[in-house]
Amino acid sequence: MKVKFITKFFFTLIGALAGYAYFRMWGCDGSCAITSSPVNSSVYGAVMGFLLSQVFEKEKTKEKADSKK
């Protein structure tokens, strides 16, 4: 349980940092919805990082059901 939390936390943190870095390097000055402010870019990156962490999470319910058969 603790490992899953740490993994999700780091993916979310890395996503937020990547979103902020994207804003600093390529962000626009007001016409773009996501990259016009560092907060929007960071939140979007954090959400994408969290969703990416879900891809690497193993599905335990299916493994438990298969082992009981």
Residue 34 pLDDT > 90: no
How would you write 6-32 as a 3-class SS string? HHHHHHHHHHHHHHHHHHHHHCCCCCC
Domain ranges of the chain: 7-58
In this prediction the pTM is 0.78
* Mean pLDDT, residues 46-59 taken together: 90
Question: Higher pLDDT residue, 29 or 20?
Answer: 20
Question: Per-residue pLDDT averaged across 34-43, rounded?
Answer: 91
